[in-house]
Structures are given as structure tokens and as C-alpha cells.
């Protein structure tokens, strides 16, 4: 986020106490490496599957005074849909006037909303991050492996996540992430996922509640992003990601008639 100047900030997340790293000796290094490779492969499959879903995204960012009253707000509601040619697109259905005055949303903030906050760690992205196993922990009674994630280096024009992820120890998919987009003026957030269609864990909401320390003054901010009404895209074009192909293709030409005897 940008204010009148780029200044370092400290962040206070409501209810976000620092993670207590568990004893990592319960898993061997080989087993940890195996888990990382398997959950990255699951995340790759999920990322591909999510591209074939429509959903509604509601994003709201607020600035607050010391009493917690809203002093400015940016909000947008969008439907992520497919057009007539099958191309994925965003259709804005609600976007009131932006009244934020204490800070502005930068292009990097918008990029984080799209790709960093609903963080997905795919196989092709593994080489970009240092990954350290912290130990087991439960999230809403779901047994998880917890990993610390940190980018190895920063490439121009790229956005990176730094924080922790909770990986379901049965499905081997990320069910929660806590961290921030790397750089100045980017708030910490928590993103939670839920299982959709009994197979993949989809992000359903992101929350942040921080104090930004600018040169002129401190500014409180809140953020909420909801992802709702996931539906698999259906059209005349066949899109598969692991399902069997139906041999009875309605577009296939009819079989040639048998020769008469």
C-alpha cells in the first residue's frame, strides 16, 4: 500500500499470535521432502482445476480511526466467469466510489489480492522458495503439517508470499495460509480454504486487521475478501482435469453402416 511516502510498517493481526514451532524430529528429512513434493503436485492440480470454476469475489478494504470507525472504504464485487468463447474474464457487478484517503491501493496490492493472498504453491514454484517444516498442528480439528515459506530472491515484476502454510495431512493440500506479500506497506493476512466438490480445497475468505505506521501518523486498516458460489464451468467445449472421457461424444460422426449382404 502507498501513502504520501514509502515507509516501513509494523503489523498487528487481530488474534494472530505467532506460531509456536513444534518439534520437527517426528519426521525424517526424506519424509518431509516427500510431503513437500506431494502437496506441491496436489496444489498444481488444484490450480489447474480452479481455472475451470466460476465464482463471486467480494473485496473490501477500510481505513479506521482510533475508535474503530470507518474513515474510508474501497470495495468491489466481481463475478469470475467465462464469456461466449470460453475465455475466463472478470465482470464487475458492484464498485462504489473509492473513499480511501489515508492510503492508496497500489498495483502490487491488486496483484496480491489476485494471486498472493489465495496462495498456491505449485511444483513449478518450489524452486523459488525456502521451505522449512515447523511441525504438526490442528486447524479446526484437521491434522496439518505446518511449513514456513520464504522467497529465495526477488525478481522484478513478480509478487511473492512469505509466511506459514497449513497442509492437510490426509489430502496434502493447503487449508490455511498466514503471511504477507513481500515488500513495504503490504499487510499480513490469513486465508482459509474449504473443500469444494469433495476434491479440492478452495480459498473462501481472507482477513487482515493491521496498523500501518506512516511518517505522518499511524493508520488502522481492515481487509476482507470472500470467494463464494464456486461452480465448475460447463460449455460445449470439453474441459477435464482427471475425470474419465465419455466415449459417447455427441459431436462424433455416426459409425458407417454395415455393408449389406
Provide the domain limits for residue 193: 24-230
Task: Decide if 250 is inside a domain.
Answer: no
Task: Decide if 7 is inside a domain.
Answer: no
State the pLDDT at residue 1: 57
The pairing of beta strand 161-168 with beta strand 142-151: antiparallel
State the pLDDT at residue 20: 38
In this structure, are residues 151 and 129 in contact, taking their beta carbons and an 8 Å threshold?
Answer: yes
Task: Decide if 165 is inside a domain.
Answer: yes
State the pLDDT at residue 52: 94
Domain count, the chain: 1
Any residues with CB less than 8 A from the CB of 180 and at least 6 apart, and which?
A: 11, 161, 162, 163, 186, 187, 188, 189
Kindly report the average pLDDT of the chain as a whole number: 83
Task: Decide if 58 is inside a domain.
Answer: yes
| Whether the predicted pLDDT of 10 surpasses 80 | no
Rg (alpha carbons) of the chain, rounded to whole number: 22
pLDDT digits (tens, 9 = 90+) for 187-231: 899 999 999 999 999 999 999 998 877 788 888 999 999 999 999
Report the C-alpha gap between 75 and 106 in whole angstroms. 14
User: Binning pLDDT at 50, 70 and 90, where does residue 137 land?
Assistant: very high
Q: Specify the length of the chain in residues.
A: 261
In this structure, are residues 186 and 172 in contact, taking their beta carbons and an 8 Å threshold?
Answer: no
Torsion of CA 198, 201, 204, 206, to 10 degrees: 160
Task: Decide if 11 is inside a domain.
Answer: no
State the pLDDT at residue 75: 98
pLDDT digits (tens, 9 = 90+) for 34-80: 999 999 999 999 999 999 999 999 999 999 998 999 999 999 999 99
Return the bridge partners of 29, or none: none
Give the three-state DSSP class for 111. helix
Burial 183-210 (b: 16+ CB within 10 A, else e): eebbbbbbbbbeebeeebbbbbbbbbbb
Q: Which among 62, 55, 101 has a CA at the least distance from the CA of 80?
A: 55
Report the C-alpha gap between 22 and 144 in whole angstroms. 12
Report the C-alpha gap between 209 and 96 in whole angstroms. 22
What single DSSP character describes residue 247? Answer: S
Any residues with CB less than 8 A from the CB of 190 and at least 6 apart, and which?
A: 13, 16, 176, 177, 178, 206, 207, 208
Count of beta carbons in the 10 Å neighbourhood of residue 80: 18
Task: Decide if 6 is inside a domain.
Answer: no
Task: Decide if 15 is inside a domain.
Answer: no
State the pLDDT at residue 69: 94
| Start-to-end Cα distance in the chain | 80
Task: Decide if 59 is inside a domain.
Answer: yes
| Whether the predicted pLDDT of 31 surpasses 80 | yes
In the chain, count H helices and then E strands.
2, 10
Amino acid at each position: 500500500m502507498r501513502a504520501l511516502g514509502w515507509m516501513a510498517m509494523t503489523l498487528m493481526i487481530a488474534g494472530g499470535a505467532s506460531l509456536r514451532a513444534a518439534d520437527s524430529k517426528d519426521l525424517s528429512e526424506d519424509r518431509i521432502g516427500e510431503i513437500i513434493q506431494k502437496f506441491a503436485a496436489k496444489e498444481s492440480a488444484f490450480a489447474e482445476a480452479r481455472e475451470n470454476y466460476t465464482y463471486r469475489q467480494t473485496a473490501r478494504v477500510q481505513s479506521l480511526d482510533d475508535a474503530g470507525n470507518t474513515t474510508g472504504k474501497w470495495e468491489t464485487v466481481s463475478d469470475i466467469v467465462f464469456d461466449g468463447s470460453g475465455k475466463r474474464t472478470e465482470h464487475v457487478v458492484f464498485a462504489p466510489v473509492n473513499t480511501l484517503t489515508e492510503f492508496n491501493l497500489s498495483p502490487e496490492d491488486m496483484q496480491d489480492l489476485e494471486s498472493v493472498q489465495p496462495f498456491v504453491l505449485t511444483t513449478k514454484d518450489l524452486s523459488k522458495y525456502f521451505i522449512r517444516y515447523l511441525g504438526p498442528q490442528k486447524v479446526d480439528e484437521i491434522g496439518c503439517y505446518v511449513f514456513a515459506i520464504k522467497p529465495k530472491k526477488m525478481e522484478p515484476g513478480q509478487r511473492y508470499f512469505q509466511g506459514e502454510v497449513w497442509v492437510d495431512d490426509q489430502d496434502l493440500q493447503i487449508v490455511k495460509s498466514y503471511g504477507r506479500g513481500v515488500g513495504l506497506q503490504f499487510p499480513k493476512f490469513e486465508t482459509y480454504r474449504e473443500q469444494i466438490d469433495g476434491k479440492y480445497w478452495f480459498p473462501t475468505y481472507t482477513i487482515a486487521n493491521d496498523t500501518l505506521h506512516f511518517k505522518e501518523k499511524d493508520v488502522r486498516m481492515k481487509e476482507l475478501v470472500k470467494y463464494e458460489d464456486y461452480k465448475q464451468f460447463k460449455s460445449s467445449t470439453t474441459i477435464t482435469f482427471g475425470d474419465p472421457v465419455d466415449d459417447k461424444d455427441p459431436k462424433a460422426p455416426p459409425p458407417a453402416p454395415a455393408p449389406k449382404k
